[in-house]
Structure 1
Amino acid sequence: MSYIRIEKNETCEITEKKSRFIAYLAYVTTEEDAQNFVSQIKKKHYDARHNVYAYILNSGGKKYSDDGEPSKTAGYPILEMLENEGVTDVVCVVTRYFGGTLLGTGGLIRAYTKSAKDCLEKAGVKKMILCDVLSLTFDYAYLSKIEHMLKTENLVTKDKTFLENVTLTVVSPKDKTGALRENILNEFAGAVNFAVTGEIYN
């Protein structure tokens, strides 16, 4: 299992027929976080005519608001763009300061979509993969060999504990865990205690 998220929060601005479109993009994981972010931007741009938004969560929640613009010309095309790009756990707010010239339905859709997409390109995206969290406990004598094995497999060691034995906390993509368990068993027989303690996206 995997999903795509933004690499960093971003903002950018475009101008269409003297109307300013300021896009804000942020990483969120809950509807509450998304709504809080929308509220922050609305507070910041309290004098703007429109603060439209869209968010989509990996958990399945999604919502948009045209905030006074004609139906489905603002928040909806932003949501559609995010869905087409496959990005989740993201909220996008686009603030519009009216420049005096009406853009029409097509013009609004293009402007809101472009401002959000430019912001997404600036933010960058990364693929998050569902991983197992592993706990490996063993004698100090095996440390360098095991670390070399993990490095060869490009696996991330999150934590090291040095007590009577060494315990490494390792993050392994789910499709690599079985092979790693087998390799460690073959190499070290029963000398390494191998346990799956949880799962995270990494």
Structure 2
Amino acid sequence: MFSTTLTPVPLAPEISLHLADRRFGLFDLTGGEFHSDQPPPFWAFAWAGGQALARFLLDRPAEVAGRRVLDVATGSGVAAIAAAYAGAAAVACTDIDPEAVGAAHRNASANGFSLAVELDEPDLLLAGDVFYSPAVAPKMVAMFRTARQRGAGVLVGDPGRGFFPRHLFDLVAEYVVPVPPALEESETLTTGVWRMH
């Protein structure tokens, strides 16, 4: 196991998260191995897409004020926490990794907020860095289309991941996001916040 430290989010320092040391990359924390039965600790990092969403919501609280918000593939929970901070009526998170959901709840608590365990029919879905593989991308698109069909909004933070379906979204904001070089092989990533048509 590895340790995390409560650290301000680089692009949204109003929020602090329990994060891995910036010197470590994702697979440094798993001994350099990937085991399909145990997801790597994505939740131990403030990914660029989540940071961009957080900054966007903190700067534009009207996007979430009074709304029921679901953070999909929450990771650390940074976007969920930003939604709570900005005045959402209720915020829940989901992730295929139960450790991530636990981390999001711990991080929310560290910032003085609590996340709902479940949320029926949210008004807005948030998702950061979800278009990273050809297997995951179509599942995300299907989920977001279903949400849009029933009237919910969808905001996605994406730093140019290879499977982002840009034609389905409009760019609403762009940020230069500080990221750990060990994670992204770069000091910053230009990251868009996108609204689904």
Which has the higher relative contact order, 1 or 2, with Cα contacts under 8 A spaced 6 or more apart?
A: 1
Structure 1 length-normalised TM: 0.24
Between structures 1 and 2, the one with greater strand share: 1
Structure 2 length-normalised TM: 0.25
Larger radius of gyration: 1
